[in-house]
Amino acid sequence: MRPAHPTEQAVGMEHYVSDTDGIGGHLREDDEHFRVRELERFSTEPVDASLDAYPHLVFRVTLSGWDTNDFASRLSDALGISRERVNWAGTKDKYAVTTQLFSVYGAEPADLPDVNGAEIDVLGRAGRSLEFGDLAGNAFELVVSDPDQPENVAPITDELHAFGGLEDAATEGTVVGVPNFFGQQRFGSRRPVTHKVGLEIARGDWEGAVMAYLGNPTDAEPEGTQDARAFVHETRDWQEALERFPNRLRYERSMLHGITECDGEPGPEDFRAALERVPSNLQRLFVHAAQSYAFNLMLSERLERGLPFDRPVEGDVACFADTDAPDGLELPDTDRLQRVDERRVRSVTRHCERGRAFVTAPLVGTDTDLADGEQGEIERAVLDDLGLEPADFDLPGEFYSSGTRRAILVRTPLKYETDPLTLEFSLPKGSYATVVLREYLKVDPVDLG
């Protein structure tokens, strides 16, 4: 175990679990070097099924150079329909070749347009639209460009295999395991502040939340943007700050517009209203990022204490596997939880060894019950250090969260080739490819993006 990159430590990822030096290099030199394919689990009827009963046309799209949201907008424009009638299961990045499902309400196959950089394959019809999360996971094929020590891929794989603790898997490739951290993207790759905003929201400091978003300049930003953030932090001159913030920072400007429109000095309700001017998904992301930061800290502390990730200790809370997951994919079902008391340690350990159960940690919310034993000590200590407790997430509107639990270990069969250096693996939905890649490259997170 060795210290992580400082940027990762700032979002709670304190360590690498592999001690071998990283291979170095970077990703996405070309879109073809980053391939992502959804592992699907969405049923369809034949394409000639009744439009009345099955009004949603479902199709698989392979995109090159398209962000999911941008492609959905292009699709809705071409069809002459509301953007709200286009749905998908998972958002994918622009700088990649991605294969994913879409559904469109009321469309016929002949209606679908020809779009440069998009290959469309109609699958059938469904009685409901795709929803976010209607996938089991994602399969990745990634090329690492300009590695410094490509020969280190083998010993790193061996170390991650040992950490995963799964010895008897009949799979293609070596099963590796890593802590199921939330990756840097959760917090902002170049400006990791979303968790800082969320922490202030959970503490009830609405002004602090606004300032966490408006302020906090980073070296990765243009000098003018850094100056504008520093100015608003130092002066609270909202009108002048609005003049200084560039137009491309539309969410910051929207907040500033809201503050300048209030009568007199802004109070807590005015700052909350300013936060609520940003899209609802971003409002939720603020709180989710705070939960994710606390989760990362809990995993880092468990690592430091030398507690296992692949099996429980007394006091842990475990979940069981989703039995409908595709072959070769371990998919935790966090709706099926069991507290591991002294009597159950051995039986739950056997389930974990077979990939049928997983140790969890909390994404803290109003309904969270913390673990017992040493893991419970870790969870309470992290929340105490952050000045939080579950009841703090009883928040208004989109900021409310009841919480859940999340597996602390993610495992996958991994294959690699050396010329070019290529890694292939699959992850369950909600897990990040970067948490696997960071162990191999050990570089600035920007180079993992």
Q: Which CATH number fits the domain that encloses residue 239?
A: 1.10.1510.30
181 near 296, Cβ under 8 Å? yes
Select from 278, 311, 333 the last residue of a domain.
Answer: 278
Give the integer Cα–Cα distance in Å for 194 and 397: 18
Q: Does a structural domain hold residue 186?
A: no
Average pLDDT over residues 127-148: 93
Average pLDDT over residues 362-377: 97
The verdict on 6 and 152 lying in the same domain is yes
CATH, residue 50: 3.30.70.3160
Q: Does a structural domain hold residue 112?
A: yes
Q: Does a structural domain hold residue 10?
A: yes
Average pLDDT over residues 398-416: 96
Comparing 48-62, 169-183, 237-251, the range with the smallest average pLDDT is 169-183
Nearest residue to 34 (alpha-carbon basis) of 148, 143, 181, 134: 143
pLDDT at residue 272 is higher than 80:
yes
124 near 112, Cβ under 8 Å? no
Nearest residue to 357 (alpha-carbon basis) of 343, 368, 346: 346
Q: Strand 357-363 vs strand 15-16: parallel, antiparallel, or unpaired? A: unpaired
Q: Does a structural domain hold residue 355?
A: yes
The verdict on 291 and 383 lying in the same domain is yes
Nearest residue to 414 (alpha-carbon basis) of 398, 427, 405: 427
pLDDT at residue 171 is higher than 90:
no
Nearest residue to 157 (alpha-carbon basis) of 418, 443, 432, 419: 418
The verdict on 370 and 334 lying in the same domain is yes
Element (H, E) at 440: helix 433-441
Q: What is the pLDDT of residue 170?
A: 59
Nearest residue to 408 (alpha-carbon basis) of 275, 305, 257: 305
| Average pLDDT, rounded, for the chain | 93
Give the integer Cα–Cα distance in Å for 130 and 132: 7
pLDDT at residue 298 is higher than 60:
yes
Average pLDDT over residues 100-113: 94
Q: What is the pLDDT of residue 327?
A: 81
Where in the sequence is the domain holding 395, given as residue range(s)?
282-407
The verdict on 23 and 141 lying in the same domain is yes
CATH, residue 374: 3.30.2350.20
Instruction: For 202-211, write each residue's pLDDT tens digit.
Output: 999 999 999 9
Select from 234, 249, 278 the last residue of a domain.
Answer: 278
Domain count, the chain: 4
Task: Check residues 278 and 327 and name the one with the higher pLDDT.
Answer: 278
Comparing 26-30, 121-125, 301-305, the range with the smallest average pLDDT is 26-30
pLDDT at residue 58 is higher than 60:
yes
pLDDT at residue 168 is higher than 60:
no
The verdict on 27 and 142 lying in the same domain is yes
Instruction: For 225-260, write each residue's pLDDT tens digit.
Output: 999 999 999 999 999 999 999 999 999 999 999 999
Q: Does a structural domain hold residue 192?
A: no
141 near 74, Cβ under 8 Å? no
Q: What is the pLDDT of residue 92?
A: 83
pLDDT at residue 440 is higher than 90:
yes
The verdict on 88 and 163 lying in the same domain is no
Select from 240, 258, 278 the last residue of a domain.
Answer: 278
Instruction: Find all residues with CB under 8 Å of 45, minimum gap 6, and list them.
Output: 54, 124, 125, 126, 127
The verdict on 424 and 399 lying in the same domain is no
The verdict on 150 and 216 lying in the same domain is no
Instruction: For 282-294, write each residue's pLDDT tens digit.
Output: 999 999 999 999 9
pTM: 0.92
Q: Does a structural domain hold residue 380?
A: yes
- What is the percentage of the chain residues whose pLDDT exceeds 90? 85
The helix-helix angle for 194-202 and 280-304 (nearest 10°) equals 90
pLDDT tier at 90 (50, 70, 90 boundaries)?
A: confident
Single-letter code of the amino acid located at 445: P
Positive or negative, the CA dihedral 230, 6, 220, 260 is: negative
The verdict on 399 and 292 lying in the same domain is yes
Identify the bridge partners of residue 45 per DSSP, sorted by sequence position: 125
Q: Which residues are catalytically annotated?
A: 93
The verdict on 294 and 403 lying in the same domain is yes
Name the 3-class secondary structure at 207.
helix
Give the integer Cα–Cα distance in Å for 427 and 18: 19
Q: Does a structural domain hold residue 218?
A: yes
The verdict on 403 and 414 lying in the same domain is no
Instruction: For 7-26, write each residue's pLDDT tens digit.
Output: 999 999 999 999 999 999 99
Q: Does a structural domain hold residue 195?
A: no
The verdict on 67 and 149 lying in the same domain is no
Instruction: For 144-153, write each residue's pLDDT tens digit.
Output: 999 999 999 9
pLDDT at residue 121 is higher than 60:
yes
- Helix (DSSP H) and strand (DSSP E) numbers for the chain: 13, 15
